[in-house]
Amino acid sequence: MSRKIAIIGDQFMLPSMFQQEIEALCGNDHQIRSIANGWPDEPMEHGYAVAGMDGLKEYIGDADEVCEFVADAEILVTHLAPMSAAMFARLPQLKMVAVSRGGPVNIDMQAARDHGVKVVNAPGRNASAVAEFTIGAILAETRRIRVGHENLREGTWRGDLYRADRTGRQLNEMTIGIVGYGQIGTRLVKLLQPFKSRLLVADPYVALSAEDVAAGVEATDFKSLLQQSDVVTLHARVSTETQHMINADTLAMMRPDSLLINTARGPLVDYPALLAALKKGTPAAAMLETFDIEPPAADSELLKLPNVTLTPHIAGASIHTVRKAARMAAEEVRRHIDGETPLNPC
């Protein structure tokens, strides 16, 4: 039986890749229509700032335009298109929404339940990309790659970085602390093992595997991890428990020569407290991929500190991520069409 499927992609999650994967798994006899919005060239909206969209955290797309496009489709496949309570009410034919991101923050989940619409997501779609990016972040800071680059671009040859008191450190002499041991944290540990670092993990909800223990990975509490680690890298989810887990008190526990990396989420860090700590030199440096407000204000002092590496929330961006997320969404569409239980229900 032919199904009506609406695809709303963007300039990262291309509609063509969604459609290609859906047709590969579900056949090409379905009625598929697709459009793309302007993200990331255009910024996302925030639900609290737009009337009628308060059940959503971040999204891109006009509610009326999305409803007109989805119309009588049974299935919506999207990355960032919004679905609010009012929009669900306008789309009685809609039975499933497949969101190709780790969290469906562009969907009003209570409204989806109220209207009997199944929502699925794509957890772990960018786990390998973020883990690889974190390795690059560690090396860029600990081996003085960023410092050497910035100075050379400004015309200064930093031969002094060969001095014993200024040169970088190798991973095999450092303790790396991983906060959060989900899909990203576990991949990061596997990537770090060949470097022969000492690896500490803090996650009260995850037990180390026998393989981890045999490889020398050590489980510890958050406080001990901060006190012992040369590098602290964040990979926890945001919750009431983890929000601002990096704050003035926990920053004071870190080693004076340590490096803090945040490739997870901005709310994990109290950024004013981090700014003050970095000015004092404890921790010695930070690599920040996510921020409390994105993009950070042009006059933010963090942008001007000499001991900070900054990137614009791109750790999860890779073509592999696109392909994997599209494949995961297509598999959920297939399972819906075939009457099977979803793999990743929200």
Tens digits of per-residue pLDDT, 13-29?
999 999 999 999 999 99
Of 329, 276, 300, nearest to 25 by C-alpha is 329
Spot the catalytic one: 33, 313, 323, 335.
313
Active site residue 235: no
Check: CB of residue 328 under 8 Å from CB of residue 125.
yes
Q: What is the DSSP letter of 341?
A: P
- CATH class for domain 127-310? alpha beta
| Terminal alpha carbon distance of the chain | 26
CA atoms 47, 53, 58, 59: torsion sign? negative
pLDDT in the model for residue 141: 94
Spot the catalytic one: 42, 241, 294, 340.
294
Instruction: Name the pTM for this structure.
Output: 0.92
Q: CA torsion 270→185→40→245, rounded to 10°?
A: -10
Active site residue 115: no
Check: CB of residue 251 under 8 Å from CB of residue 198.
no
pLDDT digits (tens, 9 = 90+) for 64-102: 999 999 999 999 999 999 999 999 999 999 999 999 998
Q: If residue 29 lies in a helix (H) or strand (E), which one and from where to where?
A: none
pLDDT in the model for residue 308: 95
Spot the catalytic one: 265, 331, 332, 336.
265
Active site residue 3: no
Strand-pair category, 285-288 with 31-36: unpaired
Same fold, 4-125+318-337 and 127-310: yes
CATH 3.40.50.720 fits 4-125+318-337, yes or no: yes
Looking at the chain, the whole-number percentage of residues with pLDDT higher than 70 is 100
**Domain range annotation of the chain:** 4-125+318-337, 127-310
